Structure 1
């Protein structure tokens, strides 16, 4: 296998001819200085200056699918997150299909925010209704003040000569007082009405803010899903901090590339050129392309674009590189796969196509046993609980039966919060019972107040219906004024009772929403507390997973939310997940026979290749070797094998393997 060369190494190789030419020129100059000059020397120097040495430029890159959609882990308010509904690798999907969803607590937050919105609406309605009831009180006081002023005007209109001076002064003083009192009552009524309008506007703003937050949470919950933007095949990616492949139930950080939806359309090549080699390339220039995975095959590509600014690539050293997009000829007929290594050089300086390496009869690759159904074992997602303790777990490799506990987690905060919320819930329930009794008494008091106001209105009506000729004019005018006052007060009493009823209903709805909120929180905590004991949904082998430090989880380990401590693998659906180096990938094809040996078990089994990876990729973060995944299926049912065990497979290479590797 020929490893992919770094551009810095390529640049050094390219500079060797120039270095040799410079050394030769320096030796020639020293020789010329030591020897006497000849008449032909200037002519040779002129010829040498007119024919500079051409500098070869070598590029390395990879094949890319132009119609590829990157599956990015959605944003989340917590990290890491658990990947759910992740479509299996190699599954064809259509545009709009769900390919990935992350586990989030957005649903519980949305339910809680809806309850808080209902509480805010009820609280606003209660306060506005109370203010309206208070405004009606000020309206009553204003009507009484207007009636008092009207009566004072009747008394003050009496001639001074017909009454005693004392009564006259008293009537005039009462008129002045009633006038001032009316102005005060009118100002109080206006202030109360403005306060009602302000509280109603504040409530509308508060509800609008909560509705925006609720819409944001709903949108964020919708963003927790990734759907295919085009037709293609799902290819899983690799974790940048663990080097493991992302699978269903794996942990990832928001923003990680969990995989791609690889289309079946046009391919292109992307390469990187060292900053010092950029002047020797131009758009439209022909390049000769060779591929490590296809020995002996070559194509002629054309530079389509070169980035305008270089960028650093830490994995390749301290150099800066330009990205070159290379177009491939149509109908080339080569079985190109995304991720293949590409070696390119300008067409004018291209060397002859290298013959393919001699074929081998046996190909040895390494891999490990895996299960096609592996369920993650992780702590539950409980709101506002971020860290758990692994209290108990069976030994690794234990065959767990369905319904058997496989892990026990502890979180002291859950019990504490559950007790606190239970106490708050009991308190709110008692407050609700007391409120219902108080409101029933208030309803009866309101009915009595309305009945009293209507009775006063009827009494004043009867008094004012007396014959005008039988009573004094002053007394009759006062009875008419009082009738108008009592009738208006009776109408306001009915309106006030309705406002008070609305206020009591809103107060009861607010308290009931608070009780429902506490019940929802308590139910979520109770569900999370029950889920602290993980029950096996089916039979399987328990295999431990590693933490951030590369150590396997054990009893007493602190587990952050979203992390899986183990997997439950199905022992009846085992296969071999292996990787073949890129230079030898052309020798592997579906259906190829293999002999699998398990080191340390003195066991050899027959298997065959059932699938090839949809893309080439780096072996791991520590090894940049380009490999292609190979899946092998056992010919029979193996016994005594466990997922995670390392194996070695020897494949028999035949003459037709290269054609069938597509």
Structure 2
């Protein structure tokens, strides 16, 4: 009888323990189901971004980059793109420009020589005309008819020669001016080409204006990090130097989880580098238009910005990754 009574009193106790354990498991399971983790990357509000330059071809090669993570100072060379073809063109332009300048000097000397000769011919023609006028002015009574007629003919010839010499001088001046002007235009064209190519070559060398660590960009197609020797298309983002102020966590939220976010919502942010030291952050920017992230598929994602207090003792750097945890649409 006592044994049966003992068994009867134990059954309610066991049942209560089982029910309590089941409730705890259910609560834990519900909590896990309601938890939403959003991962992102630390970004800087003010950063210097380097893009691949324009090129005559559809691609450009990265010749050299400062090792990722190294701190660049203003004026340091950060990215250099391959410019062998442009350098070769510059050498050809320099040779052509030197030849054109030599040709200009030759044309100037040639023109001056032609003008001097034409001026001398005109002066001689004018002197011969003056002499012919004197001879032709002698009356018939003082010379023979033959000499008189000859003097008149020489006068006419002298007048014609003067007109020819004058026309030759004008032609020499015009020819010299045209040849010199044509050569000056050619020199100007070569100088413009040389300047443009030098600027293009200079654009292939990118220098830092900010001080900070350099971060390589991801390949827009494959998502892998770009590197020295990689080939890029004009306009691609190659690298950036973020500022050490204005840091925030940028995350891309799936359209399913978007409804759990509210602007100015406070959350606990845990950085992967400081997992034991969560910090408080606030959702300060939430896009209203979804975007496709090709590397993640065809689903839509919303850009979210979580700002945090930078005065904390943690050494937070751009490029670090972290996560925020949402629960039931509210912050943890």
Contact persistence 1:63–1:342 (CA under 8 A)? no
Q: Which residue, out of 282, 301, 308, partners 1:301?
A: 282
From the superposition, tell whether residues 321 and 161 of structure 1 become closer, same or farther in structure 2 (CA, over 3 Å).
farther
Q: Does 1:189 align with 2:186?
A: no
* Cα distance per residue 1:36-87 (max 9 Å; x no partner): xxxxxxxxxxxxxxxxxxxxxx987543122433333344445644433422
SS at match of 1:99: strand
Q: Does 1:237 align with 2:214?
A: no
Q: Tell me how far apart the structure 1 counterparts of residues 255 and 223 of structure 2 sit (CA, whole Å).
A: 30
Contact persistence 1:275–1:321 (CA under 8 A)? yes
Q: Does 1:94 align with 2:80?
A: no
Q: Which residue, out of 340, 354, 371, partners 2:321?
A: 340
Contact persistence 2:217–2:226 (CA under 8 A)? yes
Q: Does 1:259 align with 2:239?
A: yes
Residue 120 of structure 1 deviates from its aligned partner by 0.8
For 1:49, the equivalent position in structure 2 comes to none
Residue 113 of structure 1 deviates from its aligned partner by 1.7
* Cα distance per residue 1:26-45 (max 9 Å; x no partner): xxxxxxxxxxxxxxxxxxxx
For 2:111, the equivalent position in structure 1 comes to 131
In the alignment of these two chains, the number of paired residues is 292
For 1:627, the equivalent position in structure 2 comes to none
Q: Tell me how far apart the structure 2 counterparts of residues 244 and 299 of structure 1 sit (CA, whole Å).
A: 31
Residue 114 of structure 1 deviates from its aligned partner by 1.3
Report matched runs for 1:49-68 at 5 Å.
Answer: 62-68=41-47
Residue 204 of structure 1 deviates from its aligned partner by 1.9
Residue 153 of structure 1 deviates from its aligned partner by 0.5
Q: Tell me how far apart the structure 2 counterparts of residues 138 and 189 of structure 1 sit (CA, whole Å).
A: 5
For 1:478, the equivalent position in structure 2 comes to none
Q: In angstroms, what is the RMSD of aligned CA positions?
A: 3.9
Q: Tell me how far apart the structure 2 counterparts of residues 341 and 108 of structure 1 sit (CA, whole Å).
A: 48
Unaligned runs of 5+ in 2: 1-36
Q: Tell me how far apart the structure 2 counterparts of residues 333 and 232 of structure 1 sit (CA, whole Å).
A: 19
For 1:146, the equivalent position in structure 2 comes to 126
SS at match of 1:331: coil
- Give the number of the structure with larger relative contact order, counting CA–CA contacts within 8 Å between residues 6 or more apart: 2
Residue 118 of structure 1 deviates from its aligned partner by 0.8
SS at match of 1:161: helix
Contact persistence 1:275–1:310 (CA under 8 A)? no
Report matched runs for 1:244-283 at 5 Å.
Answer: 244-271=224-251
For 1:210, the equivalent position in structure 2 comes to 190
Q: Does 1:201 align with 2:181?
A: yes
Q: Tell me how far apart the structure 2 counterparts of residues 235 and 143 of structure 1 sit (CA, whole Å).
A: 78
Contact persistence 1:74–1:225 (CA under 8 A)? no
Q: Tell me how far apart the structure 1 counterparts of residues 211 and 54 of structure 2 sit (CA, whole Å).
A: 24
Contact persistence 1:274–1:319 (CA under 8 A)? yes
Q: Which residue, out of 200, 203, 228, partners 1:220?
A: 200
Q: Please report the TM-score for the alignment, with normalisation by the length of structure 1.
A: 0.38
Q: Does 1:285 align with 2:285?
A: no
Residue 311 of structure 1 deviates from its aligned partner by 6.6
From the superposition, tell whether residues 214 and 231 of structure 1 become closer, same or farther in structure 2 (CA, over 3 Å).
same
For 2:140, the equivalent position in structure 1 comes to 160
Q: Tell me how far apart the structure 2 counterparts of residues 237 and 243 of structure 1 sit (CA, whole Å).
A: 9
For 1:172, the equivalent position in structure 2 comes to 152
